[in-house]
Amino acid sequence: MSAVATETIAQITKLVQAKTGDARASVHSIEVMPGHAGFSYGFVLDRSDGGEPAGKMVVRIAPPGVKISGPADIVRQAKIMASLANTPVPVPEIFWYGDEVEFFGRPYLVDRFVESFKLGELDLPPENVKRLARKGIETLAKLHQLSWETRRHAFGDPVPLADEMKRLDYLLDRDTLDSAVVARAPELRERLRSTLPRQARLGCVHGDFQWANVLFDREKPVALIDWEIALIGPTLLDVGWVSFFADRESFVADNQRPMPLSPEEIALSYSQAAAFPVPTDQIRWFRAFAGYRFGVITCFNLMLHRRGKRPDPLWEETARSAPRMFERGIELLG
């Protein structure tokens, strides 16, 4: 066992003993969990007092040396998930969270480990995959139906759609980006601005609703995860995002991955599940915006990769589709 693992076990043990009040509580079976926004460890908590909580849990710790905001704001994520407890939206059960320096020296949360799988991890019949995916979209509609006003303390103040676009300006308006990859992004930006929906419905937005962030059992979704960029905003942001990745027309041929539902099937499932009107023209706008958003993120991360600031060769491959993302957005806007 490495020194780092030993230190981590000691830190987790100190935390659970303090939080449970059980001085003989112990942890074992620690393992590194997948994730990119900090450090995550699975572990099993054994208690000498027979109390709860106990069993398999996950601790997520903010990365050291970074500003505690956005993806690194672990406490905010914990508050958001806690605000969704006992609703039709499944989330991991939150046990503890905070930023006390005596445990990890940075923010953390501890939640229940959820036995589950992601679509594509099991060899299921296609009809079963589609059925589960539809239930995932129904769960998204349930999230959007929740009262956002009562969860403002966790999600924060509403974010206007125009502000979402301004955030992308910071990434796009750089002379260090590859102009061939940027392609028609400025043109799509102007088309989006000139057709900005004025009556977009507000609600709790996941922000990164895609199939990798939905956990299932064989019957239904059992947890939505990765609430790093959740917000109060236009609910169709989520629909546009998951539809964008399902749209074969947004990617070059060899960048495509099989998806359980088409954009049209997503729109139909969402509209049938939603207890509010879903304007078709707005879905197309948010699909175009999602392509613009991911295309701009791709351009920016490609620049960071090539300049050696954040090496990741995956962005070279993704960037091959970026010009097509912008073209497809223009097509969707008509």
Pairing of strands 221-224, 231-234: unpaired
Please give the helix or strand (H or E) that residue 61 lies within, else none: strand 55-61
> Which candidate, 67, 287, 137, places its Cα nearest to that of 197?
287
Q: Which residue(s) pair with 112 in the sheet? A: 57
pLDDT computed for residue 72 by the predictor: 84
> From CA 169, how far away is CA 167, in angstroms rounded?
5
What is 6-57 written as a DSSP string? HHHHHHHHHHHHHHH--TT-EEEEEEEPP-SSSEEEEEEEE-SS--SS-EEE
What pTM did the predictor assign? 0.94
In the predicted model, is pLDDT for residue 47 greater than 80? yes
DSSP structure class, residue 309:
S
CA distance 279 to 281: 6
Instruction: Taking residues 306-316, report their average pLDDT.
Output: 95
pLDDT category, 66, cuts 50, 70, 90?
Answer: confident
In contact, 207 and 228? CB cutoff 8 Å: yes
d(CA 194, CA 295): 19
Q: Which residues pair with residue 94 across a beta bridge? A: 111
Q: pLDDT tens digits, residue range 232-260?
A: 999 999 999 999 999 999 999 766 678 99
* CB 291, CB 250: distance < 8 Å: yes
Q: Give the integer Cα–Cα distance in Å for 332 and 334.
A: 5
Can you give the pLDDT at residue 38? 60
For residue 135, pLDDT beyond 90: yes
Q: Residue 2's pLDDT band (boundaries 50, 70, 90)?
A: very low
Best CA proximity match to 205, nearest among 331, 129, 130, 289: 289
List of residues 6+ apart from 109 with CB closer than 8 A: 59, 60, 74, 75, 77, 78, 94, 96, 97
Q: Which domains does the chain have, with CATH numbers?
A: 3-112 (3.30.200.20), 126-332 (3.90.1200.10)
